[in-house]
C-alpha cells in the first residue's frame, strides 16, 4: 500500500501558495554589521527557468546570507531575470551537465554555515526554508524534506511515481537501517561539514571530462546524497514539506528511467561499502530537538 493521499484540497493549496516568511533574525545580517545566528546559503540550480524564477525569488525569506543561482547554460533569460529580481544574487556556471553537477558547483561556491537545496521551478516552497534551518539549529546535521509526513503532501507526484518512491524508500531503509519516509525528494538542508560526506565533485571548466556527465551529475543526485548521508550515520531530521506543480513548463522526470537510475544508485553506493563519516558534529553528543516528529538515522529513536 502506498503511504498517504497526496491530493490536498484547493483551499489548502491556495493558502500555502508562495506564502512569504519574514524573519529578521533568520541568519547573518551583514548590512547592519551584526550576526544573529548561523548563516544560510541557498543553492538554486536552474536551466531555462526565466518564467519561474520571479515567483521563487520573491518568496525567499529575509536574512539569508547568500542566494546562489547555478545556470545550466540557459538559452532563455534565466540569468538576467534572476539579477533583475534579486540584484545581490550570485550566479555561477556549471562545469559539466546535469542537476547533480549544478548542485556540486553551487555547494563549492557556498560560504554559509547551513546550505539549502531549492528547485527553480517553483515546486519547492522557499517559505519552508525556516523549517529546515530550525531543524539544523536543534541538532540535525542534515534536514531532509519529506512529502509523506503529517502536514506535508504533493500536488505534483503521480500515483506511479509515488508507488516507485515507496518501494525504493523501503529498500534503502532495509539496507541502511534508516527510517526515511521520502527517498526521492530534493528539498534538503545541511551543515556545511556534510559536504565531505556528500562528496560531490564540481570539477573545473577545463577538465578533460567537462563535456561528459559523471556519476552523480544527473537526477540520481538526490538519492545519492540521501544514501551517502545514511551510510555516514550523521544525524538526520525529516522535515514536512509540501510539493507543488512547477509554475510554468513541464518536468523532465520519467518514472521508469529515473526509477531505474535511482535503483542503480542504491546498488552502486551499497557495493562501494560503508562510507567513512567525515562530519565532526555527528560524533559529538547532540541535544535532541523537540520540533520534528521523526529522527531517521543514528540511533533510531523518535524525537
State the pLDDT at residue 26.
59
Average pLDDT estimate for 174-195: 91
State CA 300 to chain mean position distance.
Answer: 22
Residue 144's DSSP bridge partners are 188, 238
Give the residue, 58 or 15, on which the prediction is more confident: 58
Average pLDDT estimate for 52-78: 96
pLDDT band for 267, please (50, 70, 90 cuts): confident
What CATH number does the domain containing 242 carry?
3.90.550.10
133 and 289 Cβ atoms separated by less than 8 Å: no
Structural domain includes residue 202: yes
Structural domain includes residue 16: no
Candidate ranges 60-74, 172-186, 242-256; pick with highest mean pLDDT: 60-74
Q: Give the list of residues 6+ apart from residue 15 with CB closer than 8 angstroms, or none.
A: none
Structural domain includes residue 299: no
Residue written as grid cell 542537476? 99
152 and 242 Cβ atoms separated by less than 8 Å: yes
| Three-state SS at 236 | strand
State the pLDDT at residue 273.
56
Smallest CA-to-CA distance from 126 within 216, 223, 198, 52 is with 52
Helix axes 159-176 and 221-232, enclosed angle (nearest 10): 20
Structural domain includes residue 19: no
Distance CA 275, CA 285 (A): 21
pLDDT tens, 194-249?
999 999 988 777 676 666 777 676 778 888 999 999 999 999 999 999 998 876 76
* Grid cell at residue 119: 528547485
126 and 221 Cβ atoms separated by less than 8 Å: no
Distances (CA, A) of 189 to 49, 72, 130, 200: 22, 21, 10, 15
pLDDT tens, 110-156?
999 999 999 999 999 999 999 999 999 999 999 999 988 988 877 76
Structural domain includes residue 118: yes
Please, what is the Cα angle at 136 between 135 and 140, to 5 degrees?
A: 90
pLDDT tens, 159-173?
766 666 677 888 888
Burial (CB count <10 Å: 0-12, 13-18, 19+), residue 91:
middle
- Beta strand 242-243 pairing with 90-93: unpaired
Distances (CA, A) of 218 to 69, 98, 298: 17, 5, 28
Residue 146's DSSP bridge partners are 240
> Which residues span the domain enclosing 223?
24-283
State the pLDDT at residue 164.
64
Distance CA 51, CA 64 (A): 23
pLDDT band for 67, please (50, 70, 90 cuts): very high
pLDDT band for 108, please (50, 70, 90 cuts): very high
Structural domain includes residue 9: no
Structural domain includes residue 114: yes
State the pLDDT at residue 32.
41
- What is the number of other CB atoms lying within 10 angstroms of the CB of residue 264? 13
Percent of the chain with pLDDT over 70: 67
Q: Which of 181-195, 232-246, 259-273, 289-303 has the lowest mean pLDDT?
A: 289-303
Candidate ranges 85-94, 194-203, 272-281; pick with highest mean pLDDT: 85-94
Structural domain includes residue 203: yes
Q: How many structural domains compose the chain?
A: 1
Residue written as grid cell 510554468? 248
Smallest CA-to-CA distance from 74 within 92, 100, 56 is with 92
pLDDT band for 259, please (50, 70, 90 cuts): low
Average pLDDT estimate for 88-92: 98
Amino acid at each position: 500500500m502506498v503511504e498517504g493521499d497526496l491530493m490536498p484540497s484547493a483551499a489548502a493549496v491556495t493558502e500555502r501558495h508562495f506564502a512569504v516568511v519574514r524573519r529578521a533574525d533568520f541568519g547573518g545580517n551583514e548590512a547592519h554589521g551584526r550576526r544573529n545566528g548561523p548563516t544560510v546559503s541557498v543553492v538554486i540550480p536552474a536551466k531555462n527557468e526565466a518564467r519561474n524564477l520571479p515567483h521563487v525569488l520573491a518568496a525567499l525569506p529575509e536574512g539569508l546570507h547568500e542566494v546562489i543561482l547555478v545556470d545550466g547554460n540557459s538559452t532563455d533569460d534565466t540569468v538576467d531575470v534572476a539579477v533583475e529580481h534579486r540584484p545581490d544574487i550570485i550566479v555561477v556556471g556549471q562545469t559539466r551537465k546535469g542537476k547533480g553537477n549544478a548542485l556540486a558547483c553551487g555547494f563549492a561556491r557556498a560560504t554559509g554555515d547551513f546550505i539549502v537545496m531549492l528547485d527553480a521551478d517553483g515546486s519547492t516552497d522557499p517559505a519552508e526554508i525556516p523549517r529546515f534551518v530550525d531543524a539544523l539549529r536543534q541538532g540535525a546535521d542534515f534536514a531532509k524534506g519529506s512529502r509523506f509526513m503529517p502536514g506535508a503532501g504533493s500536488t505534483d507526484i503521480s500515483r506511479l511515481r509515488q508507488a516507485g518512491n515507496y518501494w525504493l524508500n523501503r529498500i534503502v531503509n532495509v539496507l541502511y537501517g534508516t527510517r526515511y519516509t521520502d527517498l526521492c525528494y530534493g528539498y534538503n538542508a545541511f551543515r556545511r561539514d556534510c559536504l565531505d560526506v556528500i562528496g560531490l565533485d564540481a570539477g573545473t571548466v577545463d577538465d578533460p571530462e567537462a563535456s561528459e556527465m559523471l556519476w552523480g551529475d544527473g537526477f540520481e543526485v538526490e538519492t545519492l546524497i540521501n544514501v551517502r548521508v545514511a551510510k555516514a550515520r550523521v544525524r538526520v531530521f525529516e522535515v514536512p514539506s509540501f510539493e507543488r506543480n512547477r509554475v510554468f513548463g513541464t518536468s523532465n522526470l520519467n518514472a521508469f528511467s529515473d526509477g531505474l537510475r535511482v535503483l542503480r544508485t542504491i546498488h552502486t553506493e551499497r557495493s562501494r561499502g560503508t562510507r567513512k563519516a567525515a562530519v565532526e558534529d555527528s560524533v559529538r553528543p547532540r541535544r535532541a530537538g523537540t520540533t520534528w516528529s521523526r529522527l531517521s538515522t543514528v540511533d533510531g529513536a523518535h524525537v
